[in-house]
Amino acid sequence: MDFDHGAMSTECLLIAELKAPHKVNTGSRPDFIKIAHQMKSSFDKKIHDGVDNDDISMPGLLVEGFRCTFFVMDLKY
């Protein structure tokens, strides 16, 4: 989520979940659900704080061992 504030540089919020290779379970992906919930909670907080912009998006990075997945969630549905 990029945002500008006055003369400050652009800031970005990235939700990330990292798991070491020896901690990855085969088959189930509970961290996928966990990161999706965290991204939605961040959206809810921004809306509660008064952000009124349909163009905002929330990036997420899920690293499970050697597998990396990048997600982007937005409000356009």
For residue range 1-38, list pLDDT tens digits in order. 555 556 655 666 788 888 888 877 766 677 888 888 99
Residue 47 domain boundaries: 2-74
Other CB atoms within 10 A of residue 1 CB = 19
> What is the count of structural domains for the chain?
1
Mean pLDDT of the chain: 79
Check residue 53 and give its pLDDT: 73
Percentage, residues of the chain above pLDDT 70:
79
On whether the CB atoms of residues 60 and 73 are closer than 8 A, the answer is yes
pLDDT-derived band of residue 48, with 50, 70 and 90 as boundaries?
confident
Which 8-state DSSP code applies to residue 15?
E
Half-sphere exposure of 56 (CA within 13 A, CB side): 21
pTM value? 0.69
Per DSSP, helices labelled H in the chain are 30-48
